[in-house]
Structure 1
Amino acid sequence: MNPLLTLDDQRFVLFPLRFPQIWDMYKQALSCFWTVEELDLSHDLVDWDTKLNADERHFITIVLAFFASADGMVNENLVQRFAVEIQSAEARCFYGFQIMMENIHSETYSLLIDTYIRDPQLKDKMFHSSETAQWIMRWLGADRPFCERIVAFAVVEGIFFSASFASIFWLKKRGLMPGLTFSNELISRDEAMHTQFAVLIHSLLLSRPHRDVIIAIVQDAVAIECDFVREALPLMIQYVRFVADWLLQAFGVGKVFHDQNPFDFMDMISLSGKTNFFEKRVSDYARPVDNSDAVVGRSFSLDVEF
């Protein structure tokens, strides 16, 4: 039996800690708390109306619609499945906080959509079923074993969001949409942490999916994500594969795609434990934690050999 999934009375009591590495990640997540009220969107509409072309506005609209719907699916999975199935008190703390942060992400996407999309009919047409949504429902369905669903969950947070995050960082490089790009920094940092946590939970399971299953989950997701970005920014395909290789290595499988990072604005190298995966330099925008040494030692970095 997997201790993380086994019922026992200790799940009601935090101390003594049974999974200190999970507790460290929970404390790290707490230090990154933020709210929608801290965002300033006052300058974005000028850029939206005068500096972005129609194709760019259309792409951002699609990205925001995807973020909003995918985040809702993520939260539903957390509330209905993971937070119920997991029996570690430390992991339940993390999932409880993650659920709250996903609610903040959802509020942020709704605010961004309401700010930029002023046509009510267009708003109604934004949300529809997609290949990505079908993939999420298939791999995160209740009929799948927990060990497969935790891998799929990391893929959703780590791969399906990757190209969209990078496209918004590209806007930041151009000095556009400061409110959107700052929210993107905060949310991408959160999602990187959630990806890292899923990888950690996977590593603590006694029974894990066969490597072929992990590769199949990742390759399926990469194909869908590459189709999504192929027309908008072809170089993004290389970036998606690069991120997928990182995740495969994190799961102990090894690289499959062997692509390099094509974007200098998405330099995913950890700098003294402060700049983590997707995070850029937003780590200064965080609350201090007492166990920082323990947390930094487990930072979500890409200092492994590629």
Structure 2
Amino acid sequence: MNQAFDFHKKAQASLWTAEEMDLTEDRLQWTNWLTPAERFILTQVLNLVQRFSAEVRIPEFRMFYNFQVMMENVHWEVYSLLITMLILDEDEQYHLFHAILSVPCVQAKVDWVLCWITSDASFASCVIAFATVEGIFFSGAFASIFWLKKKGMMPGLTFLNELISWDEGLHTDFACYMYSCLHHKLLDITLTNIMNTLVNGVLGLSVPSMVQYIKFVTDRLLVALNVSKIYNMDNPFEFVKMISLEGKMNFFECWVSDYAKYAKVFIMGEGP
């Protein structure tokens, strides 16, 4: 299982911590630059990812996943930090941290996840559900924040978004690798139905371009799992081409913060 160990080492090389995030400028821009509509969208994004970072756990991934759990805890910590730094109203903070109890769309997403990790579903189904969570659930949220990067706004948040999207891309790659190693795989129709129930029944998307983007991402994940596309959609968002969710990527060395933390960062496009 040398390839699995390589994934573990890649995860180690990407280690970063909440203390490395400088959100000073973001707090000023949140108050003075963002429109109410933009603040609302980001509030929903922060809420969604913070909740799932706390809820989703599948322990079977052993060495790689043990490291992944640690990184998901870092994600949870920094999203919590963002909420407390950007949302100054304590009642709104409480609402966001407890949205799983009060917001039906958040509860529906959590229920979808728990259905696959607490039921009698096969291990193959669990792996596919996990790949779907890592590869599709957050792609819309990442796209929303990359849109801010295109506008040159919220530098701390958008840098954090790059780090987390890299992490989730690696988690997706590992889930696809795990699935490729299984002897008892799902029928293609069963696999696509798992994703289709999420895209068309749970995510609750309404903006046409975002619907198209999520379907594009879903097709990309299906191809990574050696299954035919079901939507055949093009990417409507040119500004998110660098999101690290594809299966074959190259690495280059770069400095990821003023702490001189050395890490590996994905470049999209070419295979090894």
Q: TM-score, normalised by structure 2?
A: 0.87
Distance 1:28 1:272, change over 3 A: closer
User: 1:179-210, CA deviations, whole angstroms, 9 ceiling, x for partnerless residues?
Assistant: 11111110110000001000000000111111
Q: Match of 2:67?
A: 97
Q: Contact 2:249 / 2:267 at 8 angstroms: preserved in 1?
A: no
Moved more, 128-137 or 169-178: 128-137
Q: Tell me which protein shows more strand as a share of its residues.
A: 2
Q: Match of 2:232?
A: 258
Structure 2: how far apart are the matches of 1:154 and 1:237?
A: 19
Determine which structure has more spread, i.e. the larger CA radius of gyration: 1
Structure 2: how far apart are the matches of 1:98 and 1:272?
A: 19
1:72 aligns with 2:54: yes
Cα deviation for residue 225 of structure 1 reads 6.2
Distance 1:171 1:224, change over 3 A: farther
Q: Contact 1:226 / 1:236 at 8 angstroms: preserved in 2?
A: no
User: 1:232-264, CA deviations, whole angstroms, 9 ceiling, x for partnerless residues?
Assistant: xx3111111111001111111111100011111
Instruction: Select the residue among 85, 88, 99 that pairs with 1:115.
Output: 85
User: 1:257-276, CA deviations, whole angstroms, 9 ceiling, x for partnerless residues?
Assistant: 0001111111259898138x
Instruction: Select the residue among 143, 151, 157 that pairs with 2:120.
Output: 143
2:92 alignment partner AA: L
Q: RMSD in angstroms over aligned alpha carbons?
A: 2.4
Distance 1:38 1:168, change over 3 A: same
Distance 1:185 1:225, change over 3 A: farther
Distance 1:120 1:224, change over 3 A: farther
Structure 2: how far apart are the matches of 1:204 and 1:174?
A: 42
* Structure 1 residue ranges without an equivalent (≥5): 1-18, 84-91, 276-281, 290-295
Query: What aligned pairs does 1:194-205 form with structure 2 within 5 A after superposition?
Result: 194-205=171-182
Query: What aligned pairs does 1:109-188 form with structure 2 within 5 A after superposition?
Result: 109-126=79-96, 127-128=99-100, 129-188=106-165
Instruction: Select the residue among 210, 215, 227 that pairs with 1:241.
Output: 215
Cα deviation for residue 123 of structure 1 reads 1.7
- SS of 2:251's equivalent? coil
Structure 2: how far apart are the matches of 1:283 and 1:260?
A: 30
Q: Match of 1:15?
A: none
Identical aligned pairs, as a percentage?
39
Structure 2: how far apart are the matches of 1:253 and 1:156?
A: 17
Instruction: Select the residue among 50, 67, 70 that pairs with 2:32.
Output: 50
- SS of 2:118's equivalent? coil
Q: Match of 1:87?
A: none
Structure 1: how far apart are the matches of 2:168 and 2:191?
A: 20
1:273 aligns with 2:250: yes
Q: Contact 2:254 / 2:262 at 8 angstroms: preserved in 1?
A: no
Count of residues paired in the alignment:
257
Question: Structure 1: which 4+ aligned runs deviate by more than 4 Å?
Answer: 268-272, 299-304
2:262 alignment partner AA: R
Q: Contact 1:239 / 1:262 at 8 angstroms: preserved in 2?
A: yes
